[in-house]
Amino acid sequence: MAPSRRTAIIVNAVAFQLVWFAAVIGAAHGYGWAGPAALLVFAAWQLQRGVRRRGDVTLMLVALAAGFACDSTMVAGGFASYASPFPGAPIAPAWILALWAGFGLTLQHSLAWLIRRPWLAVVLGGTLGPLSYLGAQRAFAAVSFTEPRITSIAVLALLWATALGLLSAASRRSHGIDMRATTIGGATP
């Protein structure tokens, strides 16, 4: 029997968090393969369900491209360095790209509520994205920011805000949502 929609959303969120921990802790301990391996399990589970499969694959690839651009910019610009940096500078490491791909698998499920809220997606991307990196830095030393650290984090915030805005738009497009038909505070824009 298929899980209920609510259960599937919870499992999606928990599974992504497990990918995050596998990737970050694995990278911090020299096991850069742990994140991509966890992603494979998560993706296999999510895609075998057949719910929004085409959109999931598309968003996973768009998120992967966004992550490649964001984190390669961080490396190439000298703003950050990553544990287990395979394939090496100036390219973002495989484990963080696995996180981005896994993040793409949440956009039609546990993070679907962001679809109709593009400005919220931008704000949350600019704040929560960097907080996730800071958590990975402080708890596991999986990433380190170069000095002045505030500049590095500001660049990351800008990159994440842009990426999540684009991912929100891609998710809306995947769902066929026309933002001109949505309302803001009960009023049509």
Asked if the structure places residue 187 within a domain, the reply is no
Read out DSSP for 51-120? TTHHHHHHHHHHHHHHHHHHHHHHHHTTSEEESS-TT-TTSPPHHHHHHHHHHHTTTTTTTGGGTT-HHH
Asked if the structure places residue 164 within a domain, the reply is yes
Distance, in Å, from the CA atom of 177 to the CA atom of 54, rounded to the nearest integer, reads: 16
Q: What is the pLDDT of residue 115?
A: 79
Q: What is the pLDDT of residue 178?
A: 55
Asked if the structure places residue 59 within a domain, the reply is yes
Domain that holds residue 9: 5-179
Asked if the structure places residue 185 within a domain, the reply is no
Asked whether the CA dihedral 78, 83, 89, 92 is positive or negative, the reply is: negative
The yes-or-no verdict on residue 139 having pLDDT over 60 is: yes
Asked if the structure places residue 113 within a domain, the reply is yes
Please give the average per-residue pLDDT across 126-142, as a whole number.
97
Which pair of structure tokens corresponds to residue 172? 């809306």
The yes-or-no verdict on residue 168 having pLDDT over 50 is: yes
Asked if the structure places residue 48 within a domain, the reply is yes
Distance, in Å, from the CA atom of 82 to the CA atom of 92, rounded to the nearest integer, reads: 8
Beta bridge mates, 184: 187
Asked if the structure places residue 166 within a domain, the reply is yes
The yes-or-no verdict on residue 187 having pLDDT over 60 is: no
Distance, in Å, from the CA atom of 92 to the CA atom of 78, rounded to the nearest integer, reads: 12
Q: How many structural domains compose the chain?
A: 1
List, for residues 78-101, the tens digit of each pLDDT value.
999 999 999 988 999 999 999 999
